[in-house]
Amino acid sequence: MNPGGKLPITFPHSVGDLPDFYNHKPSANRSYAFSTRKPLFPFGYGLSYTTFRFDNLRVEPTQIQVGGTAKVSVDVTNTGSREGDEVPQLYIHQKIASVTRPVIQLKGFQRTTLKAGEKKTVEFTITPDTLSMLNLELHRVVEPGIFEIMVGPSSDQTSTVSLAAVGTHGETGLPPLPPPPAGSESGVVSTFDDMKPSANFGSWIVVTDAENGGKSTGSMQVVEAGANNSKGAMRMTGEVVVGGPFPFSGVMFVPGSSPMDSVNLSGKKTISFWAKGDGKNYAVALLTESNAGGMPAIQPFLAGPEWKQCSFDISSFQTTGTEIRGLIFARGQEPGKFEFELDQVEIK
Is the model's pLDDT at 34 over the cut of 60?
no
Query: Would you place residue 25 in the very low, low, confident or very high pLDDT band (cuts 50, 70, 90)?
Result: low
Which residue, 82, 85, 101, is CA-closest to 93? Answer: 101
Contact 346, 268 (CB under 8 A): no
Query: Would you place residue 333 in the very low, low, confident or very high pLDDT band (cuts 50, 70, 90)?
Result: confident
Listed in order, the ranges of the chain carrying CATH 2.60.120.260 are: 188-347
Is the model's pLDDT at 205 over the cut of 60?
yes
- pLDDT of the residue at 36: 53
Share of the chain above pLDDT 90, in %: 64
Contact 44, 11 (CB under 8 A): no
User: CB neighbours (10 Å) of residue 140?
Assistant: 10
Bridge partners, 53 (sequence order) = 77
What CATH number has the domain spanning 188-347? 2.60.120.260
Is the model's pLDDT at 122 over the cut of 50?
yes
Share of the chain above pLDDT 70, in %: 92
- pLDDT of the residue at 32: 46
- pLDDT of the residue at 27: 55
Which residue, 50, 37, 56, 123, is CA-closest to 88? Answer: 123
pLDDT (mean) for 214-219: 95
- In order of 214, 221, 223, 332, the CA distances from 250 in angstroms are 13, 12, 16, 9
Using CA atoms, how far apart are residues 237 and 82, in angstroms rounded to an integer?
49
Fold of 15-166: Immunoglobulin-like (2.60.40)
The per-residue pLDDT for range 296-328, each reduced to its tens digit, is 889 999 999 999 999 999 988 888 898 899 999
Query: Would you place residue 40 in the very low, low, confident or very high pLDDT band (cuts 50, 70, 90)?
Result: confident
Specify the pairing of strand 63-65 against strand 157-166: parallel
Using CA atoms, how far apart are residues 66 and 172, in angstroms rounded to an integer?
10
Q: State the amino acid at position 234 in one-letter form.
A: M
Residue 34 CB partners (closer than 8 Å, separation 6+) = none
The per-residue pLDDT for range 85-96, each reduced to its tens digit, is 999 999 999 988
CB-side neighbour CA atoms (13 Å) of 148: 19
| Mean of all residue pLDDT scores within the chain | 89
Specify the pairing of strand 298-303 against strand 280-288: antiparallel
Query: Would you place residue 38 in the very low, low, confident or very high pLDDT band (cuts 50, 70, 90)?
Result: confident
User: CB neighbours (10 Å) of residue 340?
Assistant: 26
Is the model's pLDDT at 68 over the cut of 70?
yes
The per-residue pLDDT for range 72-118, each reduced to its tens digit, is 999 999 999 999 999 999 999 998 888 888 888 999 999 999 999 99
Which range scores top for mean pLDDT: 18-22, 176-180, 247-251?
A: 247-251
Listed in order, the ranges of the chain carrying CATH 2.60.40.10 are: 15-166
- In order of 36, 255, 277, 306, the CA distances from 233 in angstroms are 45, 19, 12, 13
Q: Can you give the chain as a three-state secondary structure string?
A: CCCCCCCCCCECCCHHHCCCCCCCCHHHCCCCCCCCCCCCECCCCCCCCCCEEEEEEEEECCEEECCCCEEEEEEEEECCCCCEEECCEEEEEECCCCCCCCCCEEEEECCEEECCCCEEEEEEEECHHHHCEECCCCCEECCCEEEEEEEEEECCEEEEEEEEEECCCCCCCCCCCCCCCCCCCCCEEECCCCCCCCCCCCEEEEEEHHHHCCCCEEEEEEEECCHHHCCEEEEEEEEECECECCCEEEEEEECCCCCCCCECCCCCCEEEEEEEECCEEEEEEEEECCCCCCCCCEEEEEECCCCEEEEEEHHHHCCCCCCEEEEEEEEECCCEEEEEEEEEEEEC
